[in-house]
Structure 1
Amino acid sequence: MTSTHDLGPALPSFTPVARLRPVALVQPDAATPLAPYLAAEVDLPDPTAPGIAELTFGDDRFAARWNGRTLSLRVTQGGAWRNHASRRHATGRTPDAVAITLTGPFVTGWLREDGAWVARGVVDLVAERTAIDVHDEDWLARFEGVGDRSGCFGQLGLRDIRVVTHADGTPYRCADGGEVLLTATSAGPGGFRTAHTSVWSFSPPTLPSTLPSTVPTEDGPPPSLTHRGDLFFRRPPEDDVAGVFGDHATHLVRDGDRWLVATSTWGTFDPKRDPHVSTTLATSTADLTAGQHVLDTVPLDLPTTGLTSVGRWDPHLVRRAATAAEPGGDWLVGFVSAERWFRFHPVLASGPDLDSLSFLAATPDRLACEGTTLTEVDGRWWVLASDGPDSRRSERQTYPIFDLELTQHGVLDADYPSNIPWPTTLPPAPGAPSEQASDWSLIGFDSTPYGGPLLGYGTHGDVCVQRAH
């Protein structure tokens, strides 16, 4: 690694080896509707043939209607309907399928053109002052999909990738010890409210190739991602926000016989109407590594003593081993605090339990630094983060390495894609042969969009996999 201090951790250098992009409107292994993240698809016999994909909830319906020339969206509420069509984007190019998605309050109509889904119409139900509450669980229970395929919405891209860990920070591996589990933000067709948390199994890279190799070689198979499930959330009662939401930027932690789920309330974040985000905590003894789950949450109160803070996100939890000072061990929590929208920086807290956290340190001089990640190297804890393109020139697009006082000790020697990729490092599996001791992986993401020019920010990104060299 490149370091400005001799006491930095002995982390390896990384080189890109692959990009992955598991796009799916209808998640093929997820049919049970638990949250307003749903989709239906209809195949077209030829591009000029009409087709309708529809999501119905009793007397409320959302339909994408292709008449052979243009696509329109019909929103029906209580039997009364209204058509919507984009003046610039409704015309498709030789489509072979039509689809409709509901992701939070956004209804999107799609055409599949040359193998890729392109958005041809979008309706924001909140901006349209529609009285439908898509987060209401009784309303969701009436769901029926009309099409050749229907069920839970998948993802346009993945971001905010974290390794699922045990409470001590070690990766939670599948039964065979090879694959690890990841959580990610499944990107929807737009901003924060269209995304949700998903769970994936990840097979680390074993080939020393460079981009764009994604095919098996004699050196071994490429890295791979497999969807396993989705996590949705009910807010704490004191938030006075009812229903199920696709909150994201999540850390999933195995703590004894239970799961801890720390997440960020991006599911209702609207920079114009509701610029607020905080952190919540859920606990469960269910198998959260597979299937769809709705979790009840409580506030995860992250201290920002002495700071100006308008929002907190990206929680990462680790329980340190017992010491003379803390005989029962203690929790370390890294997170991000925003001084204003959008100027944000890492913060670190600790405490004997997650209900009694105290402020430890912060880097309020940082301008656009997030993805706070606690990493143990050779018995010492470090804090990794990611300085985005809006940071100062000297810090821009690097992965800073901090100690627990948040004093910087250099930067991670790795490729920095676009956007603000989190520094998600994955060490070799325990007991790996000595020749694999340097087989670390770095799993990030970038700002590559998907879905065409109609959609705004939030449809990214490619999963960018790097390997130690």
Structure 2
Amino acid sequence: MSFDRRTALRGMAIAGLAATALPGTAAAASGLEFHLRHQFRPFDLIAPGFVQHDAPARPGAVTIDNRPVAPFCAVTTRSSGAVAAGLVGEGTSVLGRYENGTTTIEVRTGGATTVVASAAAELSEGAGFAVVVNENAVTVLADTGAGWQPLLTNRDGVRALIDLRDPNVLRELSYGYENAQDRVRAGYYGQAGVRDPHVVQYADGRPYIRDNKLYLTLTNAGMGFFQQAHWGVWTLDLADPTRLTQVAQLFFARDGVVLGDHAGQIVVDGDEFVLAMSSWGDFDFAGVHVRYTRTRANVLKGTHVLPTKRMPLPTTVSSWDPALTRIDGQWHVAFVESPAQSPAFVFHPALARGRTLESLAPVGADLTLDQTEGTIIQRLQGKWRVLTSDGDARVYRVYDLTMRPQGTLNAPYGTNIPHPMVFQHRDRYWMVTFDGTQFVEPVLGYGTHGDFIVMTDS
């Protein structure tokens, strides 16, 4: 996709700035001062813990007796000089192939095979070979000794012939390969990077922590734009914050397809989980909205495909980045309001509240801003606040529960629009966020960010 969201987000080239005061606001919303502790890049073609097949390669063309329930998966192996891998079925297949100095992506439907994309490549025997499916985008990668690198990717050509989001199509496809060498692994896709962290919390705002591990959701960046990303649940070991582990894969059924909607929050409400997410899974510049569902299924582990419905937010424009907390018997929902996504993105923070999620009324919004997202509701030193990230001013803004400005957070502000996911554990405040570091952007385009960043106030 030729669109680069950063052309619409001003000031993203500025990195590493500390939060500073703007005219008319306090220099800081509290006495907290956050410092960078860790920065690293989670990267897995197949998510550890979600491998569905791992066995020695067999000769010839092989169909594996496993399949994904969502079109977010990968097959990895080693090249024997000519190799193919992907999803196969009776008369239907979606494969990445390497042979005679050329890599291709081919789709077979109705007994006819169409090569939808090709590129020159040179793979020696024994080189790593992988095919990743993210929604309808198929990417071929190779590892010649310096880590996985994409050779070729295509979405539009694949989608013109088949819709992998359709559960009727997907249930007829299994993992498969041809002429593989060494071992073959297949399973649910991991991530090229992570973003949009949001702590799993109880309805009253307390973070969900088990065995000193914080549960949080992250957007798992795919090999491309927003539709190629999906949602995952992770744990962060608070004794060793470099240990970030995915424990659940979350996908959503709506409008007859299975999507990777993401950028939201999970709330533990009694014996139910409330999940709210943004409809980025089928974004085509015609609007975004917040969806939600309630379930008793344990969404903090395993793989799930959940039906959702639109959250009745009190807005007539697009919305995303929902944050939910029940305060004094009322649900407070912070979110991003966006009157435009084309030709430029315009978005600002807003807040609603109501006795139920179905009876929300507007509280307020900051209409003076137009590049502000990553809304979070959090208690800072005993006071409830709405936090948000201002990509223009390069600061984390703070509001009270009437959406009156209360200053900014004193914390480093990196690239992209990093979300201010602050939480308290014992006597320390933490912030987890992300940056805009891409993965091989010249091939894959915008959307493969970012690094995971951990800060603390002491």
TM-score of the superposed pair, with normalisation by structure 1: 0.83
Whether 2:137 is the aligned partner of 1:106: answer yes
> For the residues of structure 2 that align with 1:359 and 1:351, how far apart are their CA atoms?
9
Whether 2:104 is the aligned partner of 1:72: answer yes
Q: CA deviation at 1:2?
A: 6.4
- For 2:152, which of 121, 124, 135 is the aligned residue? 121
Cα distance change, pair 258–129 in 1 and its aligned pair in 2 (3 A): closer
Structure 2, unpaired ranges of 5+: 1-18, 53-66, 178-183
The answer to whether the 8 A contact 2:104-2:152 is kept is yes
- For 1:253, which of 235, 257, 267 is the aligned residue? 267
2:236 aligned partner: 202
Moved more, 150-159 or 112-121: 112-121
2:418 aligned partner: 421
- For 1:152, which of 179, 188, 195 is the aligned residue? 188
Cα distance change, pair 343–246 in 1 and its aligned pair in 2 (3 A): same
Q: CA deviation at 1:54?
A: 2.2
Q: How does 1:376-387 map to 2 (within 5 A)?
A: 376-387=379-390
Q: Deviations over 1:235-254 (max 9, x none)?
A: 2xxxxx21211100120110
Q: CA deviation at 1:78?
A: 2.2
2:169 aligned partner: 139
Amino acid at match of 1:101: V
> For the residues of structure 2 that align with 1:100 and 1:447, how far apart are their CA atoms?
25
- For 2:365, which of 321, 343, 362 is the aligned residue? 362
The answer to whether the 8 A contact 2:27-2:408 is kept is no
Q: CA deviation at 1:129?
A: 5.6
Which stretches of structure 1, 4 residues or longer, exceed 6 Å deviation after superposition? 1-4
Q: Secondary structure at the match of 2:335?
A: strand
Amino acid at match of 1:268: D
Amino acid at match of 1:318: T
The answer to whether the 8 A contact 1:448-1:461 is kept is yes
Moved more, 186-195 or 403-412: 403-412
Cα distance change, pair 179–276 in 1 and its aligned pair in 2 (3 A): same
2:431 aligned partner: 442
Whether 2:299 is the aligned partner of 1:288: answer yes
Moved more, 221-230 or 411-420: 221-230
2:85 aligned partner: 53
Amino acid at match of 1:428: H
> For the residues of structure 2 that align with 1:167 and 1:58, how far apart are their CA atoms?
47
The answer to whether the 8 A contact 2:235-2:247 is kept is yes
Q: How does 1:154-233 map to 2 (within 5 A)?
A: 154-174=190-210, 176=211, 178-204=212-238, 221-233=240-252
Question: RMSD in angstroms over aligned alpha carbons?
Answer: 2.1
Q: Secondary structure at the match of 1:180?
A: strand
Cα distance change, pair 451–59 in 1 and its aligned pair in 2 (3 A): farther
1:216 aligned partner: none
- For 2:444, which of 426, 433, 455 is the aligned residue? 455
- For 1:318, which of 322, 325, 329 is the aligned residue? 325
Higher strand share: 2
Q: Deviations over 1:35-81 (max 9, x none)?
A: 11111111236xxx222222114322111112263321111122211
The answer to whether the 8 A contact 1:179-1:202 is kept is yes
Number of residue pairs matched? 413
1:16 aligned partner: 36
Amino acid at match of 1:417: G
Q: Deviations over 1:263-289 (max 9, x none)?
A: 111100023xxx221111111111110
Structure 1, unpaired ranges of 5+: 207-220, 236-240, 322-328, 430-436
> For the residues of structure 1 that align with 2:100 and 2:423, how far apart are their CA atoms?
49
Q: CA deviation at 1:7?
A: 11
> For the residues of structure 2 that align with 1:279 and 1:154, how far apart are their CA atoms?
24
Moved more, 368-377 or 18-27: 18-27
The answer to whether the 8 A contact 2:216-2:234 is kept is yes
- Higher RCO (Cα < 8 Å, 6 or more apart): 2
> For the residues of structure 2 that align with 1:162 and 1:92, how far apart are their CA atoms?
42
> For the residues of structure 2 that align with 1:344 and 1:6, how far apart are their CA atoms?
23
> For the residues of structure 2 that align with 1:92 and 1:426, how far apart are their CA atoms?
48
> For the residues of structure 2 that align with 1:93 and 1:461, how far apart are their CA atoms?
28
Q: CA deviation at 1:154?
A: 1.2
1:42 aligned partner: 77
Cα distance change, pair 408–365 in 1 and its aligned pair in 2 (3 A): same
> For the residues of structure 1 that align with 2:27 and 2:442, how far apart are their CA atoms?
47
Q: CA deviation at 1:297?
A: 1.1
TM-score of the superposed pair, with normalisation by structure 2: 0.85
1:371 aligned partner: 374
Q: How does 1:76-95 map to 2 (within 5 A)?
A: 76-87=108-119, 90-92=120-122
Q: Among the aligned pairs, what percent are the same residue? A: 35
Q: Deviations over 1:319-365 (max 9, x none)?
A: 013xxxxxxx1110000010211000000000011000000000111
> For the residues of structure 2 that align with 1:398 and 1:92, how far apart are their CA atoms?
46
1:405 aligned partner: 402
Amino acid at match of 1:80: A
